[in-house]
Chains A and B, each alone.
Chain A
Amino acid sequence: MTPLSNIRNFSIVAHIDHGKSTLADRLIQSTNTVADRDMKEQLLDSMDIERERGITIKANTVRIDYKAADGQDYVLNLIDTPGHVDFAYEVSRSMRAVEGSLLVVDSTQGVEAQTLANVYQAIDADHEIVPVLNKIDLPASEPERVAEQIEDVIGIDATDALLVSAKSGIGIPETLEAIVQRLPAPDGNEDAPLKAMLVDSWYDAYLGVIVLIRVIDGRLKKGEKVKFMSNDSIHHVDRIGVFRPEMENVDSLGPGEIGFLTASIKQVRDTRVGDTITHQRNEVEPLPGFKPAQPVVFCGLFPVDSAEFEDLRDAIEKLALNDASFSFEMETSAALGFGFRCGFLGLLHLEVIRDRIEREYNIELITTAPSVIYHVYMKDGTQIDLHNPADMPDVTLVDHIEEPRIKATILVPDDYLGDVLKLCQDRRGIQLDLTYAGSRAMAVYDLPLNEVVFDFYDRLKSVTKGYASFDYQMEGYRQDNLVKMSVLVNEEPVDALSMMVHRDRAEQRGRAMCEKLKDLIPRHMFKIPIQAAIGGKVIARETLSALRKDVTAKCYGGDATRKKKLLEKQKAGKKKMRQFGKVDIPQEAFISALKMDG
């Protein structure tokens, strides 16, 4: 049993690509936690998508045994957290389970937006923070400048920052020593009644739900009955253990320790992150808990092949088993048939879920334009949460509409500042702050979320050649002059293309949309009007002219067979289109039409 004074619990906070996962790999490797032959890169990222995209989505935990320079044996528990804004709630709750953080900053890049967002969460959780300057072996490394920047921008002392290259193993022993010497040991009382925090939970096909816990007081043993205090449910603990990072069973977990329990729980929804766990008959003061993550971005997911609807339902239900932050309900669209309206934490979350459905379940999807939740206040005093522009009530009954706003923080080299400000201005942003740290500018903007969900991040990357970093937090709702814009193709409304827009931008957006659709819809044998309208009023119009030339130039004896195959292939290609009246619209039009170029 490890005494409290020899336990250190910590997390690593960093901007994407600053080397967080590599540093975790090195700490695991140099302490022989994992045999060399089992070592692989980004060890803690277990999902394919995590490895491929180089991002961490789920928090992961590893217990490291370490013999320090003082001759004593320590237990180091690392919780690896996601870096992306969409998964900020994972970060915040993981932070509550540990006492300290390593702040990893790429010494060739400096502080970025996600560094800031995550480090503030660590500061909020009262963490002791040890700055780590990574990639110091690269020629472009500027450790002094970056240390200064950490002090200027974040306001923490960086004089004793560790100089590390996780990739080449420089500074790893010093980092392990710093964890022991500079991070605090946890508090806790072994003799008090059991109090443990439910940090996270996920579904495993063999073991049922696995619950990640941090013991605060008391001791939890295998075979005991525990109570989840939020709903007073009683569970029989059939297994407890720690992560190395593979699961390893232990007999008990004491104060300050981090590990898991299983108790034949069938659904992730039956566990609530932030919950307090105690013994069956105990009463303890519950922990403050966490606010559950709320979906903020919504879109429709429809199977390309309508026969796959039940498969899609199955896939979505399975994914939701393990992701309580992802919501869904059935949706029918005149154009797209049966599908689901799904809610996500952000665009990355949306992309990850969509990729997983397409890849792991092999279902081709049509994704409709992402939307946010509008608060629609009716004249009769009621209020509606509008998730889907197609459901917008009759405007004559609407009093006013509010939309969600965010506070966005953007860090960018000052060469690109003008482009960034213009982009924010174009997206109805209000500047809140603009400061400089060295040659980097930090712009803080109040922006409508609906202007950001679609392609803001893509545009930001493109206008700054990838040098800007971006993070945001929700800032509540505000009233604005919002209208629903519908799109008519060949006089027929296409509900999947309707969107909420600001009145002042409606014409511009309508024109852009019609022009885009004109390029995206193939020519037909007749001409097709494409219109954008608000209510009954057409605000933009384009005409797709009729097909003029589609005939094989050379067709002789042997060509009949070939041409027949070609026509069959074209017919198969038509499956990727959706028919609206007499018009075939290709799938990609539903997403591409909404991307704004300017």
Chain B
Amino acid sequence: MSETPDFGLYLHWPFCAAKCPYCDFNSHVRARIDEALWKQAFLAEIRRVRVETGPRVLKSIFLGGGTPSLMSPELVDALLQASKDAWAWSNDIEITLEANPTSIEAERFAGYRDAGVNRVSLGVQALREKDLRLLGRLHSVEEALQGLQTARDTFERVSFDLIYARQYQTLDQWDAELREALSFDPDHLSLYQLTIEPETAFGKRFDAGALPGLPDEDTGADMYERTQEICEAHGLHAYEVSNHAKTGAESRHNMLYWQQQDWAGIGPGAHGRLTIDEVRYATETHLSPESWLAAVKDQGDGTSVKNTLDRQGQLGELLLLGLRVTDGISTERLARLGWDQNCRAVVSMLDDKFIEIVNDRLCATAKGRPVLNAIISQML
């Protein structure tokens, strides 16, 4: 008998003012959005999922996107209220909203706070004007910094994102930019190496040979190493591959994913993982905003995929996500899912110090973490 997993809720707002060229998330640009219609659909889905999960205690809510800071505070308030009616909120519930740091959006911050949001994650992405243009961002550096200030005045917890290994960026430039970011004394930073995803505007340009100046693998690796050193020296430890926080300031919601707890995914293209009567389910909803709306309205259910995950499937996901966390995965939990500690791949990677077992937890070492994909593909 295993203990009941922690439980969180992910709400996906699929709209953006403009699509960024590097982004392969499920985001769409629409001229007009009928908030009333969306509100209805979200509320209906919250009620439906509540029936599926039964009574649970919500540890966190995450409003992601797209750009959820394009929602009106009234809509956010209605969604949060509905979630509170459906499930009990834990006393220390974390409610995060992703926001873009434009001045228009910053004006809504107070409204979000009043609705219950206690943490924001700001898509700052770069502290260099030219790079913001290259990344297709709609805000300026100054606007972003003002947005950051407003956020810190408004919310208990603020994190922001930066993208590095950008076109034409050198190691020294990134070093200086990161130190500048740390000078604002954030307690949480998400630092992502720019990844060229297929089917994005950058992906197409890359394939056509029209995306010059990207750092090579070695420079990317140097930047990653430097990032770890600088953040560590500033008291922000790397608790995950791309996430750095002061102790206690880690994103509790994201830990639900990495530690393979339970979460419900609501909204177009949202994924969920739910344990119901000891069976683990992987759920997905319809990807396009219109087909999701139609499914909710006509069939009373936005779900497009609901698969059970057997032990092997669960083990795969646990390794895939759990090794991203510095703290690693409990070997006892891995063993329960049928993990073989003595298989050749594991033994050889333990010998080569790509992975280690510390205090009954399997972790990627500092040497292993930058090549985690290669490690995981050998373990699966």
Residues in chain A within 8 A of chain B (CB atoms) = 523, 525-526, 545, 547-558, 560-561, 563-564, 567, 570-571
Contacts and interface: CB of A to CB of B under 8 A. Distances in A.
B321 A555 contact: yes
B10 A525 contact: no
B320 A553 contact: no
Given A549-B370, A550-B372, A556 B354 contact: no
A551 B377 contact: no
B220 interface: yes
B257 A556 contact: yes
Nearest to A558: B271
Interface string B242-260: 1000000000001011100
A557 B220 CA distance: 25
Contact of A551 (B254, B270, B369): B369
Contacts of B324: 555
Tell me which of A553, A554, A557 has the highest count of chain B C-beta atoms within 10 A of its own C-beta: A557
B354 A557 contact: no
A525 B317 contact: no
B221 interface: yes
Given A558-B269, A558-B271, A560-B321, A553 B221 contact: no
B42 interface: no
27 contacts: A526-B352, A547-B374, A548-B220, A549-B217, A549-B370, A550-B374, A551-B369, A551-B372, A551-B373, A552-B241, A553-B192, A553-B193, A553-B194, A554-B192, A555-B241, A555-B257, A555-B258, A555-B320, A555-B324, A557-B265, A557-B272, A557-B273, A558-B269, A558-B284, A561-B282, A564-B320, A567-B376
The 6 closest A-B pairs by CB, nearest first: A558-B271, A548-B221, A549-B221, A551-B372, A553-B192, A550-B373
Given A551-B241, A553-B195, 8 more contacts: A547-B374, A548-B217, A548-B221, A549-B220, A555-B321, A557-B256, A561-B271, A567-B376
A337 B45 CA distance: 57
B271 A557 contact: yes
Given A549-B370, A563-B320, A523 B217 contact: yes
B370 A556 contact: no
A526 B378 CA distance: 14
Nearest to A546: B371
Interface in B11-28: none
Given A525-B374, A558-B270, A553 B241 contact: yes
Interface in B332-380: 352, 354, 369-377, 380
Given A551-B241, A551-B370, A557-B257, A567 B269 contact: no
Contacts, number: 89
A552 B380 CA distance: 16
Contacts of A523: 217
Nearest to B254: A556
A526 B349 CA distance: 11
B224 interface: yes
A547 B193 contact: no
B373 A567 contact: yes
A555 B321 CA distance: 7
A10 B5 CA distance: 87
B321 A547 contact: no
Contacts of B352: 525-526
Contacts of A547: 217, 371, 374
Nearest to B349: A525
B263 interface: yes
A435 to B, nearest CB: 43
B370 A567 contact: no
A564 B273 CA distance: 15
B3 to A, nearest CB: 21
A295 B284 CA distance: 60
A557 B380 CA distance: 19
Interface string B184-199: 0000000011110000
Contacts of B316: 564
B274 to A, nearest CB: 12
Given A560-B317, A564-B320, A552 B271 contact: no
Contacts of B273: 557
A288 B208 CA distance: 59
Contacts of A571: 377
B218 interface: yes
B320 A551 contact: no
Contact of A564 (B220, B258, B317): B317
A563 B224 CA distance: 21
Contact of B10 (A552, A554, A557): A557
Contact of A550 (B254, B265, B321, B370): B370
Nearest to B191: A553
Contacts of A557: 10, 256-257, 263, 265, 270-273
A525 B371 contact: yes
B242 A554 contact: yes
A205 to B, nearest CB: 43
Contacts of A554: 192, 195, 242
A421 B66 CA distance: 62
Contacts of A558: 265, 269-271, 284
B268 to A, nearest CB: 11
Nearest to A568: B380
A567 B376 CA distance: 9
A193 B258 CA distance: 92
A519 to B, nearest CB: 12
Contact of B224 (A549, A552, A560): A549
B282 A548 contact: no
Given A558-B265, A558-B269, A549 B371 contact: yes
A332 B316 CA distance: 38
Given A548-B221, A550-B372, A567 B377 contact: yes
Contacts of A552: 195, 241, 372-373
A561 B220 contact: no
Contact of B218 (A548, A556, A560): A548
Contacts of A549: 193, 217, 220-221, 224, 370-371
Contacts of B271: 557-558, 560-561
Nearest to A582: B348
Given A553-B195, A567-B380, A561 B263 contact: no
Nearest to A567: B377
A561 B305 CA distance: 12
A527 to B, nearest CB: 12
A548 B370 contact: yes
Q: Report which residue of B242, B284, B371, B372 has the largest number of chain A beta carbons within 10 angstroms of its beta carbon.
A: B371
